[in-house]
A and B are shown apart, each in its own frame.
Chain A
Amino acid sequence: MLFYVARCAAQLAVALVGIVTVAFFLMRAIPGDPAIYMLGDYATTESLAALRARLGLDLPVWQQYGMFLASAARGDLGASVVTGQSALAEIWSAVPPSAELAVAGMAIAIAFGVPLGIVAAVRQGTFVDVAVMALALGGISFPVFWLGLVAILVLSHDMGLFPALGATSEPGLWPAIHHLALPALVLGLSVAAYIARLTRSAMLEVLGQDHIRVARAMGVPERRIVWHLALRNAAIPILAVIGVTFAWSLGNAILVEAVFSRPGLGSTILKAILARDYQLVQAGVLVLAAAVVLLNTLLDLVYGAIDPRLRKA
């Protein structure tokens, strides 16, 4: 088990280095010069050169990369060229609203997706199954910003159930939840569709296995068979799809934040890209990637806890 944990940790480190590397070179591959952005179009050649030298932008790219890795290893991702503040600190301050949205969205996705998938599998071929799968197909097919706009139009504008703005400065828990509800619902339901489809197919596979027939022959109640014996077997593919859709829903969260005018990582990173604020973008990518990789590492550990056969490997 200890070895298993160590292996997960090593995978985590490798994944993070790989992701920041890609982000580093991608940012430098797109045209644009942060020095010009900071000093404006009328800056003199000398002052531009001086700023580039100060930022280290005159060095060869591989040398910049080396310096970046060295300081990143110490936890220093540089300062935002726009505000001059620590890039990591600036990104960090945008994390809470995004984390709220992502967590609420995933919670809704799991709360709807898993039970619907199970019910569809148990009622395979019936009206319930067909209805759930049609809904799921709809959830997958419509882009999340379209869903967001429709939600605003119907639930907020026409019915007045929720505010159209996804955030509030009003204090208190209730206003915060009330404003978060609609964006989280939009984000969650599109992910729920994926989870429902996968849960259904995972459950169908397990329910056809020999040990389930044995449990039935032994008189174990059907409810117990589905929600306990079969579900634990289906848990690994279900968790795997949750891990995959988490990365995907972070991407969607940026769109949802835009549609509902919510502050968060989405708007922060978008602004940084437009400003060629290399340090801020890198810090943002690192935080997003760390969230995805951490979740997946956590899931790897959970897999081991669920399936004893995986612990040996």
Chain B
Amino acid sequence: MTAATFELRGLTAAVPGETGAVRLVEEVSLSVSAGETLAVVGESGSGKTVTFTSALGLLPKPGRVIEGQALYNGTDLLSLAPESLRRVRGAQIGMVFQDPLTGLNPVFRVGDQIAEVLRAHLSIGRREARERAVQLLARVQIPDPARRVHDYPHQFSGGMRQRVLIAMAIALGPRVLIADEPTTALDVTVQAQILDLLSELREEEGMAMVLITHDLGVVARQADRIAVMYSGRVVETGRVDEVFRAPRHPYTISLFRSIPDLDAPAGTMLAPIAGAPPDPQRRPSGCAFAPRCFAAREADGCMSRRPLLTDEGHAVACHRQGMLEQAA
């Protein structure tokens, strides 16, 4: 196995709460290598965004990482001085966020915003930055880029704004691209275009990509590996084909119930499961999924002990996985 470009080890991030630290994500471990796409799925609030923002030191105060490492080519980003971390962000690791409509600064021209990112990392003049901005807009297939660099964000559609944000994220040729539900806020037709653009760029640049999504069809088509998150933890991870063929964690099984095979059409969303995920402040003491789990059994420790992720290729965090496999 080649060394991972980007790897999280036991990442735990918390915010102060009334009764001590509230752990938003706990012991998250995952990795992604050059040329590979890792899909991260999970219900809303499962900690997908917090995982990656805290790995890049972007968790808003007073939130902070209390344990774990975020390794980029073997260097722990969380041990870096703020200035060194800043130089990695944007340059080595690009990130595209959930909501393109609010992601651009409304009072600056898009060309200037792209130039701002370039000039944050390179010592180039305004003119050169502006020229590169035009090239980047062309790169993300925005028509008439030489004219569009002068426009303001409100003159762009949602899909076009996401393209601009992608242009900013890839401006410095990062080795890792984290795309956090890049299409949720967009029209269905535009969603496909943006995802195609992302996978094209990933192939051309040989980047490692993390794709956070709710769309299992997209996972099936674009991802090599998958990590399923529930209540701040990774509960199952492995190669996409393995996990789709034989999901082992009851949560994953419930999610996949509606799609038995890899030929899931695009737009197949995670199946809703009865009940709601626990608030990070009031997680049950055993398995966080126990209240909603069809297989939960006290005798196996579901209500008292936290299941830990096994240490294999296709890893699962469940006390009963062996028994479930036998039953299947």
List chain A positions with a Cβ less than 8 A from chain B: 208-222, 224, 229, 232-233, 235, 306-309
In the assembled complex, the CB of B135 is this many whole angstroms from the nearest CB of chain A, namely 17
In order of increasing CB-CB distance, the 3 nearest A-B pairs are A219-B90, A218-B90, A210-B102
- Other than A208-B60, A308-B152, give 14 A-B pairs with Cβ distance below 8 A: A210-B97, A210-B99, A210-B102, A214-B165, A215-B105, A218-B117, A219-B91, A219-B121, A221-B120, A229-B108, A229-B116, A307-B106, A308-B106, A309-B154
Task: List residues of chain A with CB within 8 A of the CB of B171.
Answer: 218
Chain B residue total in the interface (Cβ 8 A): 32
Determine whether B253 belongs to the interface, using a CB cutoff of 8 Å to chain A: no
Q: Which residue of A lies closest to B83 (CB)?
A: A221
Docked-complex contact B116 and A219, CB < 8 angstroms:
no
In the assembled complex, the CB of A27 is this many whole angstroms from the nearest CB of chain B, namely 44
10 residue pairs from A and B, CB less than 8 Å apart: A211-B102, A214-B165, A215-B116, A217-B94, A219-B120, A229-B116, A233-B107, A307-B106, A308-B107, A309-B106
Determine whether B293 belongs to the interface, using a CB cutoff of 8 Å to chain A: no
Q: Which residue of B lies closest to A209 (CB)?
A: B102
**In the complex, which residues 143-200 of chain B have their Cβ closer than 8 Å to any Cβ of chain A?**
152, 154, 165, 168-169, 171
Which of A214, A229, A232, A233 has the largest count of B CB atoms less than 10 A from its CB?
A214
Given A214-B103, A309-B154, is A232 in contact with B108 using a C-beta cutoff of 8 Å?
yes
Bound-state CA distance A232–B91 (Å) is: 25
Bound-state CA distance A214–B98 (Å) is: 11
Task: List residues of chain A with CB within 8 A of the CB of B86.
Answer: 219, 221-222
In the assembled complex, the CB of A165 is this many whole angstroms from the nearest CB of chain B, namely 45
**In the complex, which residues 84-106 of chain B have their Cβ closer than 8 Å to any Cβ of chain A?**
86-91, 94-95, 97, 99, 102-106
Docked-complex contact A214 and B108, CB < 8 angstroms:
no
Q: Which residue of B lies closest to A212 (CB)?
A: B105
Docked-complex contact A216 and B58, CB < 8 angstroms:
yes
Docked-complex contact B107 and A213, CB < 8 angstroms:
no
List chain B positions with a Cβ less than 8 A from chain A: 53, 56, 58, 60, 82, 86-91, 94-95, 97, 99, 102-108, 116-117, 120-121, 152, 154, 165, 168-169, 171
In the assembled complex, the CB of B70 is this many whole angstroms from the nearest CB of chain A, namely 14
- Which of B95, B107, B116, B152 has a CB less than 8 Å from the CB of A217? B95
In the assembled complex, the CB of A233 is this many whole angstroms from the nearest CB of chain B, namely 6
Task: List residues of chain A with CB within 8 A of the CB of B104.
Answer: 211, 214
Docked-complex contact B87 and A219, CB < 8 angstroms:
yes
Task: List residues of chain B with CB within 8 A of the CB of A222.
Answer: 82, 86
Q: Which residue of B lies closest to A228 (CB)?
A: B116
Task: List residues of chain A with CB within 8 A of the CB of B154.
Answer: 308-309
In the assembled complex, the CB of A247 is this many whole angstroms from the nearest CB of chain B, namely 26
- Which of A220, A233, A235 has a CB less than 8 Å from the CB of B116? A220
In the assembled complex, the CB of B82 is this many whole angstroms from the nearest CB of chain A, namely 8
Bound-state CA distance A30–B99 (Å) is: 60
Task: List residues of chain B with CB within 8 A of the CB of A306.
Answer: 107
Given A224-B120, A229-B105, A233-B105, is A214 in contact with B152 using a C-beta cutoff of 8 Å?
no
Task: List residues of chain B with CB within 8 A of the CB of A219.
Answer: 86-91, 117, 120-121
Bound-state CA distance A235–B108 (Å) is: 13
- Which of B82, B97, B108 has a CB less than 8 Å from the CB of A213? B97
Given A213-B58, A308-B154, is A218 in contact with B168 using a C-beta cutoff of 8 Å?
yes
Bound-state CA distance A251–B87 (Å) is: 51
Task: List residues of chain B with CB within 8 A of the CB of A235.
Answer: 107
Bound-state CA distance A212–B103 (Å) is: 8
- Which of A209, A210, A218, A224 has a CB less than 8 Å from the CB of B169? A218
In the assembled complex, the CB of B301 is this many whole angstroms from the nearest CB of chain A, namely 40
Given A214-B168, A216-B89, A309-B154, is A233 in contact with B102 using a C-beta cutoff of 8 Å?
no
Q: Which residue of B lies closest to A311 (CB)?
A: B152
Which of B95, B107, B108, B120 has the largest count of A CB atoms less than 10 A from its CB?
B107
Q: Which residue of A lies closest to B106 (CB)?
A: A309
Q: Which residue of B lies closest to A235 (CB)?
A: B107
